[in-house]
Structure 1
Amino acid sequence: MVCMISIGKCPLSDPLPILHKYYHPGDHIIGGIISQIYIFSNEITFKKYPSPELSAEHIHFTASWIYLASMELLFRHGRFIPNFKCGVKNNPVAVIGGPNSNVCLHMATILCGYKMPQLIYGSAPVMKNKSEAVFFHRMFPNGAQQYKGILQLLLHFTWTWIGVITQDEDNTEEFTENVLPMFSQNGICFDFIERSPKQTVFSEIIDILEEGHKILTIVLKSTANVVIVHGEIHTMVTMRMFNWGSEFENKPLKTLGKVWLMTAQVDFTSFPFQREWDIGFLHGALSFGFHPKVVFGFERFLQSRNPTLVKEDGFIQEFWEQAFECFFPSSDVDKINGGICTGKEKLETLPGTVFEMNMTGHSYSIYNTVYAIAHALDVMHSSQYKPSHRAKMNGGGWNHMNQHKLHHFLRSVSFNNTAGEKISFDQNREIEVGFHIFNWIILQNQSLVRVKVGRTDPEAPSDKLLTLLEDAIVWPKRFNQARPLSLCNNNCRSGYRKTKLEGKPFCCYACLPCPGGKISNWNDTDDCFQCAEDHYTNNNQDGCIPKVITFLSYKEPLGTILATSALSFSLITVLILGVFIKNQDTPIVKANNRSLTYTLLISLLLSFLCAFLFIGRPEKMSCLLRQIAFAILFSLAVSCLLAKTIIVILAFMATKPGSKMRKWMGKRLVISIVLSCTLIQAVICTVWLTISPPFPDADMQSMNEEIVLECNEGSTLMFCCVLGFMGSLAIFSFTVAFVARKLPDSFNEAKFITFSMLVFCSVWLSFVPTYLSTRGKYMVAVEIFSILASSVGILGCIFSPKCYIIMLRPDLNKKEKLMGSK
């Protein structure tokens, strides 16, 4: 529709008559008629192109008729003489174009050459010629704001897997090339992007159906539950054909439950033959658009319209015949269908799918457009111009200078319309209003109700652009009023992570369990993450549980058993020491150096008591003492056994005639052996304490569910040196004892030393792999067990035979028995 506003001899009056709803081809019955409106006071004339004999359905916004209508606007009313202006009467001052973008694009070719102000109430065309764009004022809000609102809506509902249907028009290129990539950058994927066929003439309806069937097949197979529809006001005609075709596939669109998300350019329109078609597939759809304010008197005005009262309106008669399915006697409409029109039919009796009594968004834009021009002209006329200039404007010519001034006043126009809404343009000559979000509800009688469920605020930050009343939304019946999901696949639940599928969009992915020790506590996480050191993963790997602090305690069974064992063996050692002291003058006690025996028993006693340093909560002092005390005491004990063995060997060699070994016999040798071995171990321990001493530590890694309080050895190398020296000393003692075990004597202690060293070496050789294979408090338990076992081995092998003789066989505890004979 092209609407022309011109200046006559009478002042411009109330422009409400321009808002005849049936003028608007976007309101349910597409007429495809290029119309021309002249406003002179209260008089409205309406002229159609082409001639009445060509039905409205046969033409759809074709370029040739738009060019013709645009040229006709520039010449005297009723006469068409190109390149000539015959008279100055009824010259146009502005043109209202729409709703199709092609209408505005084609009329710009003619009108921009005359610097004609053009106001667009529908889809804005993509102007490649920037010089022509300055003549446009857009009553349609900024498109970028709408696309950001759609993106926010998709992200709000986490609809990341969608389909897109666009109209095969020039202005959809920008949407495909610029807007859709913006969606992809924000995590939106597309199952399909299809172009619906361009509507031209009625004869090509078969081609439209064929192209539509291809798109319908894609929609039916798609797993996306949300489909964005971007098009023009007549796109609904094609969508209704999709639904009509789906019924032949035995898969009606309404049973699939797709959520149609329509841009503001799309409105409910149809061909006359579609009026009985089911529109249930639109139930639960969402659309962006304008929210028209209630215009006082508009409904009463519509009720007063009929063909008999408006003789000069050539379009209303044709609309009346199509809407009420009747014909006027003088009409060329096929008289087979319907009865005779009386002209007294009431518009309010028409179904909502044919005609709505409420003002739609596009009609409201026209309403505001007319008022904007009226206010701009009013301000322009009331400005303080020279009397001669004013007279020229009122009575003479309307020239390009006046049109240029009108551009200026249009840019700065700001007013409150009769509905109470403020209307103004921004610096880009676009109206400064936001979009509203509507929920389409289809009632059982096929009536369409649009419910406002949200809006966009052009002045709000980008992350708060959208305001939504989610609880007010009615979804398609398939979803049973639950929020629809539109995902390529199910969400990866907690405990899983996403992994890319080759050859699929990034929204399509598989789910893999988190590896051990990692969790994911959100759906659709890209990667799992490690719990804090003092936490561990639960069985589902979707949460972290605090670790339990643990150490070898006296209160737990293992600690109690080890402590009791250490205490018991300590008491046994004390008893043995008491027995030996009590019988210190007997031959068996005096044999093999009584001082060494006491020293050995005391070292074993302290070794048993040393186990208590390993039990309980690790402290700084206990960590410093435990390994040092253990190393020195065991070195002392083993060195005592080595000294005993060497004495046995020297004693045997000294009995040979002429032997020089007698001079080595005595306490000095014993003290030298014991002190030298013990001092070497003491030096190693001193170096260890100097370089890197043991300290209390918390091991959070070894045990999955526990924090083990332990003594960190500080320097592992020095710990190995301590054990290495002790092991070397034990092996050397075992070797010497093994050599001396068969020396002739009635009581050869070397045999028992051999057994004790065999036990000692076996325990500590098995200690190394066992210690390294255990974790936490069990490492400490292994070391305590090795200390007790090796000490018990020495105590049992060395002293049990002697205690047996002392306590049970005192008859053998005599010198002549011990000396023996060959």
Structure 2
Amino acid sequence: MHTVYNNYTSKPETAKCKGSIITSELQSSRAMVFAIEEINNSTELLPGIRLGYQIYDSCASVPVAVHVAFQFLNSFDPVFYTDSKCSQSGMVVAVVGESGSTTSISISRVISSFNIPQVSHFSTCACLSDKQQYPSFFRTIPSDQFQAEALAKLVKHFGWTWIGAVRSDSDYGNYGMASFLEAAQKEGICVEYSVSFHRTYPQSKIQKVADVIRRSTAIVVLALASLGDMRALLEELSREPSPPRQWIGSESWVTNPELMRYSFCAGAIGFGIQKSVIPGLRNFLVGLSPSQVAASEILTEFWEDAFNCTLKKIPAADKKVCDGTEDIQNLQSQYTDTSQLRITNMVYKAVYAIAHAIHNTVCQGKNATAKCDKLTKLESKQVLTELKKVNFSQNGYDVSFDANGDPVAIYELVNWKKNKSGITEIVTVGLYDASLPAGQEFQINRNITWMEGRMQVPVSVCTDSCPPGTRKVLQKGKPICCYDCTPCTEGEISNTTDSTDCLPCHKEFWPNAKRDICVPKPVEFLSFQDILGIILATFSVLGACLAIITAAIFFHHRTTPIVKAHNSELSFLLLISLTLCFLCSLTFIGAPSDWSCMLRHTSFGITFVLCISCVLGKTFMVLMAFKATLPGSNVMKWFGPPQQRMTVVSFTFIQVLICTIWLLLSPPFPIKNLTTYKEKIILECALGSQIGFWAVLGYLGLLASFCFVLAVLARKLPDNFNEAKLITFSMLIFCAVWITFIPAYVSSPGKFTVVVEIFAILASSFGLIVCIFAPKCFIILFKPEKNTKKYLMNKN
């Protein structure tokens, strides 16, 4: 609009437009005329009734648009002409337009009070779907609400989570961006910046918007801007090119060929209205006669601009007079280009929708049988009522309106591609149909060429995706798309990319090295394949073999004095019990089972008590033997062989009784130890009853202590083969081993608990056999001269 500053001393001038004609809008207005003429020549739609029209230029300005609205509202005329001519000032029953959402809002607020329906071909603001505020507004182009959701799904589809956004500072841009930001938030998309501008802003403000785009880290830029605003922004960006940017456009500019001269936008994608075909329209557009052109100021201006000549008889200084040789057929202009009929088809459908509403009001029947009452005075309210119900198909395109006055949302996904000649073309690569079920609305059927001619989808994220095995941790003070990738904590995994949480593994599973899957924990126990198991089993067998060899030596030399002198019966019983002690350690090796758990503890307890009982019996024998040498002493008759056997059996029976009670009440059982080590399972035997276990050890310790005390008392008794000293030393080793066993057993983790127990068994067993029997075997085998009764009785 041409701005005029009034001094209020004279009547203000009528608002005027300035600048050049938008040829695409001129094509739309001519398409309206074409549609009306088609309807007037139709024998099926409104037969016998002719539609009239007036076309106004609003200059895309609210003041002019409101002025125009009042202008045609004041044209009411009570006179109804019945002759063949149309009324020169008849009542307006419907309005086609406006192109911009802001101007449509201003017109709708004026004419809705008069129930005059308004059908827009290019106003997409979602706010216009509010029937409480705009009850008479309809449109043939989908609402921005659908486009915003489609754009958010498009951005999500290509994995962009970090984008920039620019918009027109108008109802179209502001409402559209609000809808997009809401949809983007649901899709997990972050917007680095969202700035608004308008072509009427000072150049410095538009430059600031361009600088924001240049400095941003987001590769993808979404533009919800009108054609004029977008032209102003791209012009500014062309002065100082920014780093490569992937543009996403709304239907208002992304299908307009005028902007394709900005080559840095090549690769842009966006949604456009479906491309369509209107038969006969091109012939109508190029079939302008000189009289038609001369009769219209707009067509005259277009003609003079297109051919750089003047229709005035007196030529201008820089223009020649049009001589009639101008060829509009071959004119390269948006006006004559019908290869991309998108918005033009929306005008065409809007005119037909109004015609069908009028037809349903004044005519009865359809097609060739329709009869219309030309004399009926038509009310705009009737047309408004019928417009809500229209549902027809024209040239294969369905036309209908929902409760909000909106059509079904169908968009084409378009891509700006450079052809072999280097010329940018608009190519349809996909489709979006909002009427399809969720997840099926979006389809891509052709390859997309991206910015700088790339074939790979550009990456636009604030932070690279977090791989499996990590989780996203938001960076303080930044959007949710900016995060750090933190490895999952011990015992947890994440098996998806960009996981926000790590999941704990089942108690019998543990994460792998990458922490992206749970694998079964390794099962650990002291097996015969382990090095420790092999070593301990070897020593156990060697110990048993040593006891058997010792028993064989004693049996072979059973008649010798040294064997007879030290109670051969108890010695053989002791060697048998030691053999069992060595062998019982084998029960601790291997995977625990119900029987092995019960056997290992009870066999250990019973065999060692049997062993200590024999040692205790031998110690008694030494003490009693010397006590019996005193005059008048008859002690030995109370501690002969039967009593010795009874003592050993009694002491052992008590341990058998303790073990039996333990097994009956709460026996040991195998368990999976999941607490000692988090990353592996320890198979071990639970004690069942702690009291039972410590009772077995306690009783064993009591006998060992008693035996140790007696051995100490007998250690200085005169004897060339003083067995009491040997027993004392062996019991010292025995007690030392088992005293140190207790803290070692309690503190050892996992299978090492079993290792400690086996070691204690073997160490104490070797201590007994070496200390008690090694000196005697040495005498028997290597010092036979000392194995005599004479040497044995020598007190010196």
**Matched-pair contact (CA < 8 Å) for 1:756–1:793:** yes
Separation in structure 1 between the aligned mates of residue 770 and residue 23 of structure 2, nearest angstrom: 109
Match of 1:476 in 2: 451
Local SS of the residue matching 2:374: helix
Deviations 1:482-513 (A, max 9, x none): 12222111122233222121111111111222
Local SS of the residue matching 1:574: helix
Which aligned pairs between 1:284-363 and structure 2 lie closer than 5 A? Answer: 284-305=267-288, 309-324=292-307, 326-330=308-312, 336=318, 344-346=326-328, 348-350=330-332, 356-363=337-344
Structure 2 vs 1, CA of residues 323 and 329 (structure 1 numbering), >3 Å: closer, same or farther? Answer: closer
Q: Does 1:212 align with 2:171?
A: no
Q: What is the letter of the counterpart of residue 800 of structure 1?
A: A
Match of 1:230 in 2: 224
The CA deviation at 1:753 is 1.8
**Matched-pair contact (CA < 8 Å) for 1:517–1:530:** yes
Match of 2:166 in 1: 165
Separation in structure 2 between the aligned mates of residue 722 and residue 351 of structure 1, nearest angstrom: 107
Separation in structure 1 between the aligned mates of residue 436 and residue 694 of structure 2, nearest angstrom: 70
Equivalent residue for 1:527, pick from 497, 501, 525: 501
Separation in structure 1 between the aligned mates of residue 107 and residue 323 of structure 2, nearest angstrom: 36
The CA deviation at 1:537 is 3.4
Deviations 1:491-542 (A, max 9, x none): 2223322212111111111122233343333322223334445544333333
**Matched-pair contact (CA < 8 Å) for 1:700–1:708:** yes
User: Between Structure 1 and Structure 2, how many residues are aligned?
Assistant: 755
The CA deviation at 1:696 is 3.5
Separation in structure 2 between the aligned mates of residue 653 and residue 351 of structure 1, nearest angstrom: 137
Structure 2 vs 1, CA of residues 493 and 146 (structure 1 numbering), >3 Å: closer, same or farther? Answer: same
Match of 2:489 in 1: 515
The CA deviation at 1:85 is 6.2
Structure 2 vs 1, CA of residues 182 and 664 (structure 1 numbering), >3 Å: closer, same or farther? Answer: farther
Local SS of the residue matching 2:277: coil
Deviations 1:586-607 (A, max 9, x none): 3322334333222211111112
Match of 1:6 in 2: none
Match of 1:416 in 2: 393
Match of 2:7 in 1: none
Structure 2 vs 1, CA of residues 396 and 547 (structure 1 numbering), >3 Å: closer, same or farther? Answer: closer
Separation in structure 2 between the aligned mates of residue 338 and residue 723 of structure 1, nearest angstrom: 124
Separation in structure 1 between the aligned mates of residue 248 and residue 777 of structure 2, nearest angstrom: 99
Local SS of the residue matching 2:93: strand
Separation in structure 2 between the aligned mates of residue 135 and residue 795 of structure 1, nearest angstrom: 112
Separation in structure 1 between the aligned mates of residue 654 and residue 26 of structure 2, nearest angstrom: 109
Match of 1:373 in 2: 354
Match of 2:513 in 1: 539
Separation in structure 1 between the aligned mates of residue 555 and residue 210 of structure 2, nearest angstrom: 107
The CA deviation at 1:617 is 4.0
Q: Could you tell which deviates more after superposition, 601-610 or 487-496? A: 487-496
**Matched-pair contact (CA < 8 Å) for 2:34–2:281:** no
**Matched-pair contact (CA < 8 Å) for 1:379–1:409:** yes
The TM-score with structure 1 as length reference comes to: 0.81
Structure 2 vs 1, CA of residues 702 and 65 (structure 1 numbering), >3 Å: closer, same or farther? Answer: same
The CA deviation at 1:109 is 3.1
The CA deviation at 1:766 is 4.9
The CA deviation at 1:423 is 1.7
Separation in structure 1 between the aligned mates of residue 784 and residue 427 of structure 2, nearest angstrom: 113
Separation in structure 1 between the aligned mates of residue 603 and residue 313 of structure 2, nearest angstrom: 121
The CA deviation at 1:382 is 2.2
Match of 1:784 in 2: 758
Deviations 1:276-304 (A, max 9, x none): 99412322222122113222233343343
**Matched-pair contact (CA < 8 Å) for 2:164–2:220:** yes
The CA deviation at 1:701 is 6.2
**Matched-pair contact (CA < 8 Å) for 1:26–1:268:** no
The TM-score with structure 2 as length reference comes to: 0.84
Equivalent residue for 2:552, pick from 572, 575, 578: 578
Local SS of the residue matching 2:145: helix
Structure 2 vs 1, CA of residues 416 and 772 (structure 1 numbering), >3 Å: closer, same or farther? Answer: same
Separation in structure 2 between the aligned mates of residue 334 and residue 603 of structure 1, nearest angstrom: 133
Local SS of the residue matching 2:194: strand
The CA RMSD measured in Å over matched residues stands at 3.9
Q: What is the letter of the counterpart of residue 104 of structure 1?
A: S
Q: What is the letter of the counterpart of residue 67 of structure 2?
A: L
Separation in structure 2 between the aligned mates of residue 738 and residue 360 of structure 1, nearest angstrom: 117
Separation in structure 2 between the aligned mates of residue 277 and residue 374 of structure 1, nearest angstrom: 36
**Matched-pair contact (CA < 8 Å) for 2:115–2:384:** no
Local SS of the residue matching 1:435: strand
Q: Could you tell which deviates more after superposition, 766-775 or 806-815? A: 766-775
**Matched-pair contact (CA < 8 Å) for 1:306–1:344:** no
Structure 2 vs 1, CA of residues 547 and 381 (structure 1 numbering), >3 Å: closer, same or farther? Answer: same
Local SS of the residue matching 1:472: coil
Unaligned stretches of 5+ in structure 1? 2-22, 51-58, 77-82
**Matched-pair contact (CA < 8 Å) for 1:586–1:814:** yes
Match of 1:151 in 2: 152
The CA deviation at 1:185 is 3.6
**Matched-pair contact (CA < 8 Å) for 1:28–1:269:** no
Q: Does 1:261 align with 2:261?
A: no
Deviations 1:449-480 (A, max 9, x none): 222222223233333332234x52111127x3
The CA deviation at 1:236 is 2.2
Q: What is the letter of the counterpart of residue 398 of structure 2?
A: K
Equivalent residue for 1:279, pick from 262, 273, 278: 262
Deviations 1:539-586 (A, max 9, x none): 333344455555544455554444343333322212222222333343
Structure 2 vs 1, CA of residues 781 and 85 (structure 1 numbering), >3 Å: closer, same or farther? Answer: same
Q: Could you tell which deviates more after superposition, 695-704 or 66-75? A: 695-704
Match of 1:61 in 2: 60
Structure 2 vs 1, CA of residues 685 and 136 (structure 1 numbering), >3 Å: closer, same or farther? Answer: same
Match of 1:503 in 2: 477
The CA deviation at 1:356 is 3.7
Q: Could you tell which deviates more after superposition, 717-726 or 617-626? A: 717-726
The CA deviation at 1:368 is 1.0
Q: Does 1:394 align with 2:374?
A: yes
Local SS of the residue matching 1:462: coil
Structure 2 vs 1, CA of residues 562 and 46 (structure 1 numbering), >3 Å: closer, same or farther? Answer: same
